[in-house]
Structure 1
């Protein structure tokens, strides 16, 4: 390419519908008019069909393959194959909103004291005027990007950027058995690297299409949480107490649902509350089941290798 790009965008890919990846790449391509040079690296993680045709239809998009399962290893390979001083991570089903690249590059170049950033993540609704109950729920609860950054010290890898030198110093993302974005980000901030939230750098991602899909997403989170209680003193008791809290928690969330500016209308709020109650009860049930079966590893692997 002659000169090095200012930014390298890494996109892990696994069995994603071709139209989703195409929409992701189209949104990035549209941002070349902002005058910032960037490359895109799509890392396939074992799809039944490689997205070769989609990637080949865009300039400065490279497709590489990572056979090791997990979005973490896929992102690690993409980072290793890239050449920009700044690395950005986005998921294959996400659509970067106008100015995403400009906001990330401008913020990091203008704030040398900041080492990594997370942007906002919203739901790409089928019909914004009539969101489904799952879309309404996910708009409020599924992607609390500001909270991840400002309260918990990590950025979701569906919308994250980091200086290459910092990424190399912290080390690679973990494998399939880890919550790779949480653990990597918290490792970085524990090492003294500074993180910031950039609301102008926003992406939209599709909502789950069914309750089965939504619950499957939670399988992985609950399984990872369960891993941390095994072997701990009073671990089982603490887990059961947490289970009770989760089951009762919808009562305390009503005010948040009513006040949220992420959705509007009575119907959307009723739907969000109904979905919230259902998923919290499912999580509580799953927590009890894990105590009985101890099969958390199977839940993690199934999440990653599904269609």
Structure 2
């Protein structure tokens, strides 16, 4: 299919109880260098308790439309956005992201410049609540969260905080797996790769994302990612014995002390002083063992968390 040099773009933004960040995200999307008549913003509310506030925010932005998805989960919400999208190009970001002014322009340019491109995975820059006094959680996030280039290389996908694709690619490979609460972006990317499309990482396609700063926030993220990764891997096994083996393997990998991580943390120049290096290392132990506990919960029949 031949695309115009400036195709119409549909930017899809799921939101759940985060109207404060959504407003900032939409302000950034309103200031894009891409022609305003060539893009729309589809906000998908995923059952927010402050839905009326979300609606009042949307009303301030001419290019934004609001729709709802009652099925819990960001991938179900993104699928709803896809079903309404008018664009040849689909751009994904999150309500707590702040796209750079040239985000759409650079995303489209990267899609168009590579023959048979099926996915552009962009850069996610983390920032701290108080840059002068980052918490240990923020420091941990700054060296572990959203490793987009690594995710693309190792898993053939990237976090939907910053992804561009063509609508026809989605039509061919299918939408996101709405049963997954996390890792659905990697599962979808693997399907794009399997269909023979080219996938590229582009560090000039940028969004900013706040680092999680509290233990409670990190806990929620950890159990969601642990469940998503495990459930994504379970999709590739069929027998009960294989699933049991996968569970034990994932559990064992989380129970092993993260000594290699600790070694790298002590060598990481982004961590200043012995105190920061020790704190970040201890947080990695916490993440590993919380992940192991979540796997045990799922194995006993618990439901994965949505956030």
User: In the TM superposition, what is the alpha-carbon distance from 1:220 to its structure 2 partner?
Assistant: 2.7
| Contact 1:120–1:200, Cα closer than 8 Å, also in 2 | yes
User: In the TM superposition, what is the alpha-carbon distance from 1:163 to its structure 2 partner?
Assistant: 0.9
Deviations 1:97-129 (A, max 9, x none): 242222101111222332211111232211223
Q: What residue is the counterpart of 2:289 in the other structure? A: 281
Instruction: Write out aligned runs for 1:30-69 (5 A).
Output: 30-32=31-33, 34-35=34-35, 37-50=38-51, 51-69=54-72
Instruction: Write out aligned runs for 1:164-243 (5 A).
Output: 164-177=167-180, 179-227=183-231, 228=234, 231-233=239-241, 235-236=243-244, 239-243=247-251
User: In the TM superposition, what is the alpha-carbon distance from 1:289 to its structure 2 partner?
Assistant: 4.5
| Contact 2:129–2:213, Cα closer than 8 Å, also in 1 | no
C-alpha change, 1:259 and 1:197, in structure 2 (3 Å) is farther
Q: What residue is the counterpart of 1:265 in the other structure? A: 272
User: In the TM superposition, what is the alpha-carbon distance from 1:198 to its structure 2 partner?
Assistant: 0.7
Distance (Å, rounded) in 1 between the aligned partners of 2:115 and 2:221: 36
User: In the TM superposition, what is the alpha-carbon distance from 1:225 to its structure 2 partner?
Assistant: 4.5
Distance (Å, rounded) in 2 between the aligned partners of 1:237 and 1:167: 33
> Residue 115 of structure 1: SS of its match in structure 2?
strand
Across the aligned residues of Structure 1 and Structure 2, the Cα RMSD in angstroms comes to 2.4
Deviations 1:138-189 (A, max 9, x none): 1111211111112210121111000111111111111134632121111111
C-alpha change, 1:243 and 1:207, in structure 2 (3 Å) is same
> Residue 68 of structure 1: SS of its match in structure 2?
coil
TM-score when normalising by structure 2: 0.86
C-alpha change, 1:5 and 1:38, in structure 2 (3 Å) is farther
User: In the TM superposition, what is the alpha-carbon distance from 1:57 to its structure 2 partner?
Assistant: 0.8
Runs of 5+ consecutive residues of structure 1 not aligned to the other structure: none
Q: What residue is the counterpart of 2:306 in the other structure? A: 303
Distance (Å, rounded) in 1 between the aligned partners of 2:50 and 2:293: 36
Range 90-99 or range 235-244, more displaced: 235-244
| Contact 1:243–1:284, Cα closer than 8 Å, also in 2 | yes
> Residue 221 of structure 1: SS of its match in structure 2?
helix
C-alpha change, 1:105 and 1:84, in structure 2 (3 Å) is same
2:162 is equivalent to residue 159 of structure 1: yes
User: In the TM superposition, what is the alpha-carbon distance from 1:54 to its structure 2 partner?
Assistant: 0.8
Q: What residue is the counterpart of 1:70 in the other structure? A: 73
Runs of 5+ consecutive residues of structure 2 not aligned to the other structure: 1-5
Deviations 1:39-77 (A, max 9, x none): 111011111222111111112111111222221121112
Q: What residue is the counterpart of 2:3 in the other structure? A: none
> Residue 31 of structure 1: SS of its match in structure 2?
coil
Q: What residue is the counterpart of 1:294 in the other structure? A: 301
Number of aligned residue pairs: 293
Distance (Å, rounded) in 2 between the aligned partners of 1:225 and 1:84: 30
TM-score when normalising by structure 1: 0.86
Range 106-115 or range 195-204, more displaced: 106-115
Q: What residue is the counterpart of 1:29 in the other structure? A: 30
| Contact 1:132–1:268, Cα closer than 8 Å, also in 2 | no
Distance (Å, rounded) in 2 between the aligned partners of 1:272 and 1:210: 13
> Residue 146 of structure 2: SS of its match in structure 1?
coil
- Corresponding residue to 1:14 among 13, 16, 24: 16
Distance (Å, rounded) in 1 between the aligned partners of 2:289 and 2:72: 30
